[in-house]
Chain A
Amino acid sequence: MLQSAAPLYDDLIPGGSHWSFIMRRGHVLRLIDETGGANVGMLMYNPENPLERYNMPDTLKNQHTFLLTKGHVLLSDMGRVFASIIRDDLGWHDTVSGTCNADQVEKRWGKKTYQEAHNHYHRNGFSSFLNELAKYGLGKKDLTANLNWFSKVKTDDDGNMAYVSDHSYAGATVDLRFEMDTIVVLHTCPHPLNTTPDYPRHPLRYQLFKAAPVTDADPCKISSPEATRAFANTALYHMMQS
């Protein structure tokens, strides 16, 4: 589902950092856990109208799932597909645990300021998201439930949540094919349920590819009637743009 094997672009985001960019429709964002143990918080917005954003409840309930993996689509609140998960080496990614804030990071791993630690200071996901959102004129009101790539949180029959440590490994890869232009906001701060003794600092390698055209037999497009209809809504949106 890639047009060629060689990435158009290859970059490494250090652990405990944040970054953002606009993905164009028809391109693939490859996320690679460089060292194992990564967590990548992500939010998504429509650059044409940032009031359209990733919607966790719609994504889950449309696909009758609590986890995200290959074959699932990531839905906006407008019934459209931001991105399709066309490859996943792990089988489970979290979108229900939110992100950690400054108080939680300090409580769990201690305070480490920039003055003291320079670029190894303890960043948190909440402030990281706000930092990147501000670059697009967005803010606290635009924060919503985020994705946590490479992290697994399962539940038992009574709904008790458990963070699964050692879920991801070095080289684990997720490919996201973007079906719409999308502002991608991400951070590499720790998962809020990670209890490892030292502040986990795992980099993200990301690569960009050109996607092969999406056919009517595309596995994500036909994964469910709900996904097929979301693709139809997305196609309508693109028709209106051209």
Chain B
Amino acid sequence: MIKESELKPENASFRETVPAGDYFLKVVKAGETVRILDLEGNQAADTLFYNAHNPTERYSAVDTIREQGNVYLTAGSKLMSSENNVMLEITADTCGRHDTLGGACAAESNTTRYALEKKCMHACRDSWLVAVTEHEELGMTKRDITHNINFFMNVPVTADGGLTFADGISDAGKYVELKAAMDVLVMISNCPQLNNPCNAYNPTPIEVLVWS
């Protein structure tokens, strides 16, 4: 569902551009709104959310889709935690659909999906592993890396149980906006994937904005 936001970028309390291949880590407080902006189009923002006070509680793809009864995410979707609590709600979305089943790229999954010799290519899980090891104060490790949302990616499920990777439906300037229902740690890998036609083999920057 396409729903535009009334929030103005010039009123944001925080703005940061995240280049492809970098991670983004920030606590968004309950009541605040975070926008992820696809600056150049069809970029994947692979995102994990954690309860900022207890990272053992985290975004759960399966709880989210089951509780809303639909496999796609868009405006109105409530993102559920592994303990079935609402973490955030998507309050605006100019893209229309986001994927939460396809997971993230990893060096190891690149070997199976593309070719064994792709194993040394930079991948989303590597970005997250760097994020948690550079922030030891969070007490997080690979154990905390779980299923994520692929904002701006389109992965349709067919009625006979197929899973397809369709061309992106995002474009330059499209965005998704989420209002936090609890204090959440937002951890994004701005996807460095060079093998996927969805982004035309060209990963690009995103911008993250927060309104208090």
Identify the A interface with B (CB < 8 A). 51, 55-58, 60-62, 64-67, 75, 77-80, 92, 96-99, 101, 103-104, 139-146, 154-161, 192-193, 226-227, 229-230, 232-233
Contact = CB atoms under 8 A, between A and B. Distances in A.
A96 B112 contact: no
Which 5 pairs from chain A and chain B are nearest by CB? A57-B103, A98-B62, A79-B108, A67-B161, A141-B143
Interface string B58-80: 00111101100111100000000
A56 B108 contact: no
B112 A230 contact: yes
B161 A66 contact: yes
B60 A98 contact: yes
A56 B70 contact: no
A90 to B, nearest CB: 12
A58 B162 contact: no
Nearest to A152: B161
Interface of B: 56-57, 60-63, 65-66, 69-72, 82-84, 101-104, 106, 108-109, 111-113, 115-116, 125, 141-144, 146-147, 155-159, 161-165
Nearest to A63: B163
A78 B113 CA distance: 12
B163 A145 contact: no
Contacts of B70: 155, 158-161
21 contacts: A51-B143, A56-B101, A57-B61, A57-B102, A57-B103, A58-B109, A60-B163, A61-B113, A65-B161, A66-B157, A77-B109, A79-B109, A92-B161, A96-B66, A98-B60, A154-B159, A155-B70, A156-B159, A158-B70, A159-B72, A227-B112
A60 B84 CA distance: 23
Contact of B71 (A103, A146, A161): A161
A101 B155 CA distance: 28
Contacts of A64: 162-165
Given A141-B144, A161-B66, A77 B112 contact: no
Given A192-B66, A193-B66, 17 more contacts: A55-B109, A58-B103, A58-B112, A62-B113, A65-B161, A66-B158, A66-B163, A96-B65, A98-B60, A141-B56, A141-B143, A154-B159, A157-B159, A158-B72, A159-B156, A161-B71, A226-B112
Nearest to B80: A98
B140 to A, nearest CB: 9
Nearest to A64: B163
A217 to B, nearest CB: 20
B131 to A, nearest CB: 16
Contacts of A140: 56-57, 82
B161 A97 contact: no
Nearest to A49: B142
Nearest to A140: B56
B115 to A, nearest CB: 8
Contacts of A141: 56, 143-144
Given A96-B101, A145-B147, A229-B112, A51 B142 contact: yes
B62 A97 contact: yes
Most buried by B among A51, A99, A145: A145
A141 B146 CA distance: 9
Most buried by B among A78, A146, A158: A78
A156 to B, nearest CB: 6
A144 B161 contact: no
Nearest to B144: A141
Given A57-B101, A103-B84, A161-B70, A233 B159 contact: no
